[in-house]
Structure 1
């Protein structure tokens, strides 16, 4: 399983990369706004700075919702760095754009996916990644993790190359459940990734080992 961090904060990306487990970054306009990044020039420069911190897979999202606009933005984003994956919304014009971009060798991430049907369409169009938003489905009392499992099964049935990218992952149990069902990638905030390191018995055990070592040196 690949671990992506869902943020536009450079310090958080550096911290995740330092852990030695980071495979990529996902961003969106909301995350950029949270960091106070305004204007296309500043946004594109920020994407470049993110690319400088990771080995690969930086999802950069288009804003346009029409076919020509999506392709125009995709060209600009892809030109920033070879690590860029163009993030395209799950809409008709977006799927058309994904089909064209994939034929040109441009990697894509189909975002805002909330159903197996949408994921199937994205895979047929040639998306590199498809991003079902598990946590947002949980927020409306739907089963977001069940959707991830359903998409994995469908893709396995037909041998689609599209990777399932579990998005809107909120906590470590989401990550473990996704891993159990064979999800290819998860993207999560730093807090959720760091929580995987934690267990009270580890802390208790380490404390005892260190206490016993100290006694042996007396």
Structure 2
């Protein structure tokens, strides 16, 4: 029997959750996703530090009369694009590049940043139709994605922990959402350390299955891409999902195992009429009533913002 990674690729589009070019070359995913944390890990490796130098030189020449803060901010964006563009040379599909998490509650600033990133991709000669703009799924982020999608810019709504976030993203015609399976599990394990969350009882797995079925029942075209996995069992439990973005260490485990992978999610479900769209008040109330989603969304934004700041500090020191 073939390895589990090869079997999974027959059921689901496999995406690499990394900015490490060697890992992508090894496992040959369809797409790649990045975020500030992954970019920071990549640039801390000596073989990729020349990209930081290139980004800083670009910022210095472009903003010769700008402040240091302006040049560092531009260098960070340029670095994300340099890594994203190189990833595009290695995968045939999409590459996700994330908007600065510090803009998560500002729709207009998110839209402007998305256009700035795409301009940088165009300057690299990249096919911008293969770039997904990655935005935190706050209400403001979702509304920014609504506008961007209307402008023909595809978006990846990330840090999805609640059904309200998933539904509002689909109603905004987002191209793709990234529900964070493992981080949901983390929260429940902390609350109930003695509970059995193995296999299909994993709350992150259950959440993605619920969202996937809802999208298929209502014929939303928004892609569901499970993310943030803690183990390969979570991945196998979601075989058949539209996409799964997987870290290199779990890709390696799948490639080394030859046990059968069985389809768990099916798109052929009966149609159910689409309900009325969520209002902002309904969205915010449903988030308020979901402490797990509220905790993990804000924690995720804080972590990405902190790593963005670390990246900028690193660039200052180059």
Tell me if structure 2 keeps the 8 A contact 1:27–1:59.
Answer: yes
Matched residue, 2:31: 24
Match of 1:110 in 2: 157
Match of 2:173 in 1: 126
Unaligned runs of 5+ in 2: 1-11, 44-51, 53-74, 190-202, 260-318
In the TM superposition, structure 1's runs of 4+ consecutive aligned residues that sit over 3 Å from their partners are none
Structure showing the higher helix proportion among its residues: 2
Decide whether the 8 Å contact of 2:77 with 2:117 is kept in 1. no
Matched residue, 2:68: none
**Could you give the per-residue CA deviations for residues 166-210 of structure 1, whole angstroms, max 9, x where no partner exists?**
01023221221111xx42110011221232233478xxxxxxxxx
Describe how 1:1-218 pairs up with structure 2 within 5 A.
1-17=12-28, 22-36=29-43, 39-63=76-100, 64-65=103-104, 66-79=106-119, 80=121, 81=126, 82=128, 83-141=130-188, 143-179=203-239, 182-199=240-257
TM-align CA RMSD: 1.9
1:88 and 1:111 in contact (8 A); partners too: yes
Contact 2:80/2:97 (CA < 8 Å) preserved in 1? Answer: no
Secondary structure of the corresponding residue to residue 149 of structure 2: helix
User: Is 2:175–2:222's contact at 8 Å kept on the other side of the alignment?
Assistant: yes
TM-score norm. by structure 2 comes to: 0.58
* Larger CA deviation: 184-193 vs 30-39: 30-39
In terms of fraction of residues, the more strand-rich structure is 1
**Other structure's SS at 2:146 match:** helix
Structure 1 alignment gaps of length 5 or more: 202-218
Give the Å deviation of 1:28. Answer: 0.5
